[in-house]
Amino acid sequence: MTEHIDIVEQQRQMLELEKQAKQVVCIETRYKDGIWTQQTIDYADGRRVTEYRDSRKKNREEYTK
């Protein structure tokens, strides 16, 4: 019975981490001449995703925590 409780608790922790991974904390958008050039999205789990309008630049994903 204890093993079942441990497995359930482990699953709850995983779901909490997934919930944090999807929660947006901040969105920063930079504009130049009325068109967005760079957009940075910060998530609750410490992940930061930077997207560029210029297709020659690749999106960047980094962890701050």
pLDDT (tens digit per residue) in 7-55: 889 999 999 888 888 899 999 999 999 999 999 999 988 899 999 999 9
- Count of C-beta atoms within a 10 Å radius of residue 62: 9
Structural domain containing residue 38: 2-63
Identify the sign of the CA torsion 3, 6, 8, 63: negative
Is pTM beyond 0.75? Reply is: no
Q: Which pLDDT belongs to residue 18?
A: 87
Backbone dihedral angles phi then psi of residue 47, each to the nearest 5 degrees:
-85, 140
Average predicted confidence (pLDDT) for the chain:
91
Distance CA 43, CA 35 (A): 24
**Number of domains forming the structure of the chain:** 1
Element spanning 50, H or E: strand 47-52
pLDDT band at 56; cut points 50, 70, 90: very high
For residue 65, pLDDT over 80 is answered with: no
Distance CA 62, CA 48 (A): 5
